[in-house]
Amino acid sequence: MFPLYDTIPSRKKPYMTYAIIMANVLVFLYELALSNPELQVFFFNYGIVPLRYTWKFTSNLKYLIAWKELSPIITSNPVIPFISHMFIHGGWSHIIGNMWFLWIFGDNVEDRMGHFGFLLFYIVGGLFALGFHWLFNINSPYPLVGASGAISAVMGAYFVQFWYSKIVSLVIWIVPFLVEIPAFVYLFFWFIFQILNGTFANVLGSGVAYWAHTGGFIFGMIVGSRIRRYYI
């Protein structure tokens, strides 16, 4: 089941959503120009590597050895990755999936928040999602990259602000067909799916930051509900 569009048109042009998508695409084009070794260095320098900030506070020999191997590679300013990680993607499916969801849900939320309010919400939502991910991966030596935490915040705001909308989705079962799913139902089950997968990922291991999605969505619900009360 793949979401195609929602049924609520935005009243104004979502210029900030367009700008965020464009920024992500430009960074991804830059990534494509890098060799594999260069790309790996780029991820470790401009993605968030939790161990970079926590190695001094751990006595676990495994993590100390990991940091000894990583420290010659990671040379960027330690503040920059908190923003830059939101604009880096690990492949075509990663960026296409993220930008598609931002395209579907971002315009209406930007409509409600205003252009610069939406940008601020997007960045802070991404940071909140990062913090939630960090709670479950405090000494991880692997870089976190991607816009999905910030986009999950957008989806959380959409969940409380436009719960009455419909998400037109493509379903492929014998033959493809379209179905309208209430946004409340679609996003509720998406959220539960993130929690379940995050729980199992901690046990089995996964390259997907499900807890970042969960944290971003919670942030979006909290902020979105307050803005909803203000406007309605």
How do the domains of the chain map onto residue ranges? Answer: 2-231
Say whether domain 2-231 belongs to CATH 3.40.50.11810. no
Q: What is the mean pLDDT of residues 213-229?
A: 91
Q: What is the pLDDT of residue 202?
A: 59
Burial class (CB in 10 A: 0-12, 13-18, 19+), 85: buried
Q: Is the pLDDT of residue 205 over 70?
A: no
Beta carbons of 17 and 106 less than 8 angstroms apart: yes
Distance CA 225, CA 79 (A): 30
pTM for this structure?
Answer: 0.94
- pLDDT for 177 equals 86
* pLDDT for position 230: 57
Using 50, 70 and 90 to split pLDDT, how confident is the model at 30? very high
Query: Can you give the pLDDT at residue 208?
Result: 87
Count the neighbouring beta carbons within 10 Å of the beta carbon of residue 111. Answer: 20
**Contact 167/103 with Cβ under 8 angstroms?**
no
Per-residue pLDDT, 203: 54
Q: What mean pLDDT is predicted for residues 85-90? A: 97
Percent of the chain with pLDDT over 90: 87
Q: Specify the residue for token string 């991966």.
A: 137
Q: What digits encode the pLDDT tens for the residues 139-186?
A: 999 999 999 999 999 999 999 999 999 999 998 888 888 999 999 999
Q: Return the pLDDT at 228.
A: 62
Residue 229 pLDDT exceeds 90: no
What CA–CA distance (Å, rounded) separates 96 from 84?
18
Is the alpha carbon torsion for 156, 162, 168, 171 positive or negative?
positive
Contact 158, 219 (CB under 8 A): no
Distances (CA, A) of 214 to 14, 41, 91, 187: 25, 28, 22, 12
Q: What distance in Å separates the CA atoms of residue 219 and residue 232, rounded to the nearest whole number?
A: 20
Q: Which tokens in the block code for residue 7?
A: 């049924």
Question: The tokens 């315009």 sit on which residue?
Answer: 107
Convert the pLDDT of each residue in 119-141 to its tens digit.
999 999 999 999 999 999 999 99
Average pLDDT over residues 34-51: 97
Provide mean pLDDT across the span 192-220: 86
Cα distance between residue 189 and residue 209, in whole Å: 17
> Does the pLDDT value for residue 232 go beyond 60?
no
In this predicted structure, what is the pLDDT of residue 204? 53
